[in-house]
A and B are shown apart, each in its own frame.
Chain A
Amino acid sequence: MERPDMYVVARILERLWREEGPVLKTRLQIGARVNYDVFVRYLDWMIKKELVRFEKNPDGHERVRLTAKGEEAYRRLVQWMNEVIHGRL
C-alpha cells in the first residue's frame, strides 16, 4: 500500500484502543467503514508495520489486538489533531 488514508488507519487504531482488548475482524471492519477487501489490505499493512497483531482464540475466531507501537501512533495522531484544533500546530 503506497498511500494509506489517515482516516482509515486512525479509525482502526481508535476502535482497537477503545476496546482495550482483541477485537473480531468483522467488528473492526464496521468501525473502519471500508469494504472487506480494502479493510484486509489495511490490516496487512498495519501488521507489517507492527501497529496491530493477530491473536488466535480458543473459539477459533481470529482477533486483532493493538500493539504498543500502534497505541503510540494513535496517541501521536490525536495529539496532532488536538494541536491543530488549539491553533498551536
Chain B
Amino acid sequence: MRLVVKLAAVVASTIVLSLSIMVLLPADLFYLGFILGMTIVLVAVVSYPFKLSILEERNPSVESIAFWSRSMGYLVEEQSGKVWVGIGRWVRIAVFSGESRQGHKLYYKLDPTPLAWSTLLVCLLIFFLVPICAIILVYALARVSMFAERDLAQTYKGDGRSISKRSEGIMGSLMDGLSEAYRLSSETLDAMRSHYHDLMVVVALVVFLSWTTALFVITWTSWVHDESVLPIVVAISAVTVLVLLAAFLFLRRSYAPRLAELDKWSKRLRDETLAVSSGEWKRDDQLCAFDLLVETSAKLPAWMDYRRRSVWYRNPAASMLIFLLLWWGVMGILTSVTAYWDLVVNALGLILSIFAIVSGLYLYFRIRKKDEKEHERATAEWNSRIENAHQLIGKTIEDL
C-alpha cells in the first residue's frame, strides 16, 4: 500500500475516533486538532524505521538513481550502497535495492533531518503547536511519496538503461561534482539561515527577559511612587520595542548580504546542474561547468565556517538542552524571587536555577571550544587539499 494511502487511512480513522470522543465528552476543535496531530506525529515516528517498496524485480545501480535524482534537482549523497535524497528541508530518504521473493526489489526508507527532529521536539514541548507539526509532516510525507512512488517508480518501470549510460563517464562526473557543490551550498545556506534565526530568538529572549525584570523591579519594589508606575512602564515598553527593532535591523544588515550571495550561488549551481542534465548547456557559450567547480572549491572553507557557527543546525539536541537549561534557570530565578513559599524552598529553587544556567553556559562554551579546534583543523586540511589539487592539475596540464 502506498505511503499516502496509509497516512490518509490513519488520518480518517483518527477523525472518526476524535469526533466520537467529542460526542461522548465535552470538547472543542482545539482538542480535536490536538488528538489528530498527536496521532499523525506518533504514527509517523513509530513507522519511520520501516522500509517501503518502490518497485518489484528492478535493480538499478546506485549511480544511476543518484544521477537521475541529481538531474531532477534534488540534493543527493551516495553512502554505503544507498542513495540519500533530500526531499525538502524536513526529510531525506535512503533508496536502495534489496532481496525479495520475486528477486530484487527497490526500497526506500525515511530519514528525518535534524531540523525535523528538533521541530518535532519543540512541538511536543509546546503542545498547542502539535497540529502545525502534523500539517508539516503530512506535507513532507506527500512530497516523499510523490518522489519515490510516482516519479522514481515511473522512471525505472522501463529498463532505465539510458539513465545508467548517461551516468557514466564525463557527464556523470560533472553532474556528481555540480550536484555535490549544490548540496554543500544549499546546506550552508540552511545553516546560515538557522544561525540568523537563532540570533533573532536569543535577542528577543534577552530583550523580553530584561523587560520582565525591569517591570518586576518597578512593580515589586517601593522605589517608584504608585502614580509614576504607568508612565514608567509605558516608557520602558517603548524603549524595549525600539531596542528589539534596532537589534533585528542590525542582524538583518549583517546577514542579508551573505544570505543573498549564498542563495545566488546555490541557485546558480542548481540551475547549471539541471542545464547539464537536460543538455541545454550545449549551446551556451558563457557557461563552463569546470570553472564553476573550481570557483566552488575555493569557497568551501568559507562555507564550512558558516556551517560551524550554527550550533542549532549541526547539533539540535545539544542546542535544545542548552535552551531548556537557560530557560528553566531564568524562569526559576524569577519564580524563586517573586513567589512567597518557605524560605528554604525559595533558596533551593534559586540555587537550582543558578545551577541550570551555569550548566547551560558551560555546555555551550564547551561545544564552542571543541568546534573552534575542529574547524581550525578542518580548514587547514581543506586549504592544503585544494592547493595540492590545483598544483596537481596544473602540473598535469604542463606535462600533457
Contacts and interface: CB of A to CB of B under 8 A. Distances in A.
A16 to B, nearest CB: 12
B281 interface: yes
Interface string A64-89: 00000101011111111111111101
Contacts of A4: 397-398
A11 B386 contact: no
Contacts, number: 96
Nearest to A2: B398
A84 B174 CA distance: 12
B242 interface: no
B397 A6 contact: yes
A89 B288 contact: no
B397 A81 contact: no
Contacts of B294: 7, 10, 81
B389 A10 contact: no
B181 A85 contact: yes
B290 A73 contact: no
B291 A7 contact: yes
Nearest to B288: A11
Interface of A is mostly: helix
B334 to A, nearest CB: 47
B171 to A, nearest CB: 9
B398 A78 contact: no
A30 B285 contact: yes
Nearest to B276: A18
Interface in A35-89: 49, 51, 69, 71, 73-87, 89
B288 A86 contact: no
Contacts of B177: 78, 81-82, 85-86
Nearest to A78: B173
Contacts of B397: 4, 6, 9, 73, 77
A11 B173 contact: no
B231 interface: no
B274 to A, nearest CB: 16
A73 B397 CA distance: 8
Given A11-B291, A77-B290, A84 B389 contact: yes
A75 B170 CA distance: 5
> Which 8 pairs of residues, A with B, have the shortest CB-CB distance?
A82-B177, A81-B293, A10-B290, A84-B389, A30-B285, A78-B173, A49-B400, A84-B297
Interface of B: 169-170, 173-174, 176-177, 180-181, 184, 281-282, 285, 288-291, 293-294, 296-297, 300, 382, 385-386, 388-390, 392-394, 396-398, 400
